[in-house]
């Protein structure tokens, strides 16, 4: 796992959104999304959309397709402003669409499992 500057992450990820074409950005809540890091190395990744019910479009559709097609995605973890850690590749192991009761809206939860693309970035 290597450390990357934001400029390096952006050059790979190519968007400021959390879900890119071939990578994901995760943090520990700084973005307002509630990623959950499980003891076994998996990540529960909240879908795209901070208001209203999340829809199967944009980044959420990209992750649904990655699940169906088995496409791995590189994951970058924000350690502090401007510093990111490359966690390697993850695959979308599963997903669920569930009511987030405290906000009264439906959101996607994607289960990300390590592995799937070897060592090359």
Question: The pTM is what?
Answer: 0.92
Residue 118 pLDDT > 90: no
Write down the pLDDT at residue 104: 96
- pLDDT tens digits for 16-53? 999 999 999 999 988 889 899 999 999 999 999 999 99
- pLDDT tens digits for 90-111? 999 999 999 999 999 999 999 9
Domains of the chain by residue range: 3-114
Write down the pLDDT at residue 120: 46
Taking residue 18's Cβ as centre, other Cβ atoms within 10 Å add up to 20
Residue 121 pLDDT > 60: no
Please state, for a pLDDT cut of 70, what percent of the chain lies above it.
Answer: 96
Q: What mean pLDDT is predicted for residues 50-65?
A: 97
- Note the Cα 73 to chain centre separation in Å: 9
Rounded to an integer, what distance in angstroms lies between the CA atom of residue 67 and that of residue 27?
Answer: 21
**Quick one: fold of 3-114?**
PUA domain-like (2.30.280)
Phi-psi region of 119 (alpha: psi -120 to 50; beta: other; left: phi over 0): alpha
């Amino acid at each position: 796992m290597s450390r990357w500057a934001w400029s390096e992450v952006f050059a790979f990820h190519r968007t400021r959104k959390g879900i890119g074409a071939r990578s994901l950005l995760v943090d520990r809540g700084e973005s307002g999304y509630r990623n959950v890091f499980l003891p076994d190395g998996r990540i529960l990744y909240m879908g795209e959309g901070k208001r209203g019910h999340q829809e199967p479009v944009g980044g959420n559709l990209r992750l649904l397709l990655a699940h169906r097609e088995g496409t791995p995605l590189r994951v970058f973890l924000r350690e502090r402003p401007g510093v990111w850690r490359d966690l390697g590749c993850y695959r979308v192991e599963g997903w669920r669409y569930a009511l987030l009761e405290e906000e009264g809206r439906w959101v996607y939860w994607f289960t990300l499992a390590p592995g799937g693309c070897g060592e090359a970035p």
